[in-house]
Amino acid sequence: MAGEKEPGTRSATGEEGGEGIATSGAAPSSDYDHAGKGGASPRQEKGTDGAGGIPSFDVTMRLRRYNPELDTEPHWENYTVTMYGTDRVLDALSKIKAEIDGTLTFRRSCAHGICGSDAMRVNGRNRLACKTLLKDLDISKPVVVEPIKGLPVEKDLVVDMEPFFAAYREVMPFLITRGAEPTRERVQSQPDRERFDDTTKCILCAACTSSCPVFWTDGQYFGPAAIVNAHRFIFDSRDQGSDLRLEILNDREGVWRCRTIFNCSEACPRGIQITKAIAEVKQALIARKL
Ligand code: SF4
Ligand code: FES
């Protein structure tokens, strides 16, 4: 964590990038305060200017910044912007990038809670920036935004997701079947389909895995998301690779590392009962008497 440094001032302009990573150039190496267009006063109710009379307000976003090409350690910068009651954290970040500091870097794509690319820590809790309304946060104080934990920070709010996806790939998250290909679809009853309905909702955002203290300290633990995606196939009546996946998760860095502290279930933006899914995988292993 960066040490607090002397506040300074600077001006910056930039442009909103396309989809994917919102890339950045140079970033300052100290703690800064920035005001958006309109000279916003921090945390002031501004009324109903804007289309449709939507209430506006000023909010200070406190962002953890890090540019590996310039900084030896991360630091914090404050940005005060005027936002509306319908705006989300992602809108505030986009506004800062477009109007105040084009060097700000973060990931986003769909902006509607589907792609899973904008998981970040907002006020100490993992959330999707595109699903977090500013009006639901305490805007009497700065809204603190930082990268998710446990994965290497590449730049500002962007982390290297490769360790997360490596664990995901290891559990073979695809249908495994044997024998000749069927001549028609693989039929499944409604109750059989419901068996994995919850875990099939995963969008691979990493909010769960990066909220898990075992993952933070261990670094080798498969993590909740990989187990969720193994569960999705282990309990699929059409799949024939369950033994293989259970064998993989019976590893010392597999399901037995879970301490059932529910951080993952609380962090999941899809409301998946992750701790329950992990418990079911443990039970499946015990039932096989491994
Ligand atoms: S289980 Fe939930 S929190 Fe974890 S990666 Fe999937 S959608 Fe994200
Ligand atoms: S930008 Fe796609 S889930 Fe938020």
Task: Parse the chain into domains and list their residue ranges.
Answer: 7-159, 162-287
Say how many Å lie between the CA of residue 147 and the centre of ligand 2: 15
Q: Which pLDDT does position 33 carry in this prediction?
A: 79
Ligand nearest to the CA of 114: 2
pLDDT at 263: 96
Quick one: pLDDT at residue 35?
Answer: 76
- 162-287: which CATH topology? Fumarate Reductase Iron-sulfur Protein; Chain B, domain 2 (1.10.1060)
Question: What pLDDT was estimated at residue 9?
Answer: 31
Residue 113, ligand 2, Cβ within 6 A:
yes
What's the gap in Å between 203 CA and the centre of ligand 2? 9
| C-beta of 114 in contact with ligand 2 (< 6 A) | yes
Query: What is the Cα–Cα distance from 203 to 269, expressed in whole angstroms?
Result: 9
pLDDT, position 51: 56
50: tokens are 């804007």
- The predicted pLDDT at position 88 comes to 98
Q: Tens of pLDDT along the chain (290 residues)?
A: 333 333 333 333 333 333 456 544 444 445 677 876 544 444 556 666 555 678 899 999 999 999 999 999 999 999 999 999 999 999 999 999 999 999 999 999 999 999 999 999 999 999 999 999 999 999 999 999 999 999 999 999 999 999 999 999 999 999 999 999 899 999 999 999 999 999 999 999 999 999 999 999 977 899 999 999 999 999 999 999 999 999 999 998 899 999 999 999 999 999 999 999 999 999 999 998 65
Residue range 7-159, CATH number: 3.10.20.30
Q: Tell me how far apart the alpha carbons of residues 84 and 239 are, in angstroms, rounded to a whole number.
A: 48
Q: Are 128 and 88 in contact (CB under 8 A)?
A: no
| CA nearest neighbour of 249 among 223, 217, 211 | 223
270 within ligand 2 shell (Cβ under 6 A)? no
Q: Is the CB of 108 under 6 A from ligand 2?
A: yes
Residue whose CA is closest, atom 8 of ligand 1? 205
DSSP one-letter string for 20-84: EEE------SSEEEEE-TTTPPTT-EEES-SGGG--EEEEEEEEEE--TTT-SS-EEEEEEEEEE
Residue 47, pLDDT score = 67
What is the C-alpha end-to-end distance of the chain, expressed in Å?
42
Which of the listed residues 228, 264, 275 should we mutate to test ligand 1's pocket, taking the one with most ligand atoms within 8 A of CB? Answer: 228
Question: Would the pTM count as exceeding 0.75?
Answer: yes
Classified as helix, coil or strand, 155 is: strand
CA–CA gap between residue 240 and residue 249 (Å, rounded):
16
Q: Would you say the CB of residue 109 lies under 6 angstroms from ligand 2?
A: yes
Give the SS3 label for residue 133.
Answer: strand
* Unique residue bearing structure tokens 């200070």: 60
The closest residue, in CA terms, to atom 1 on ligand 2 is 111
Give which of 238, 244, 253, 240 is closest to 285, Cα–Cα: 244
Q: How many residues does the chain have?
A: 290
pLDDT at 236: 98
Please tell me the number of the ligand nearest to residue 275's CA.
1
Distances in Å between the Cα of 162 and the Cα atoms of 92, 152, 159, 166, 264 are: 27, 9, 9, 6, 19
| Ligand 2 center–CA 109 separation, angstroms | 6
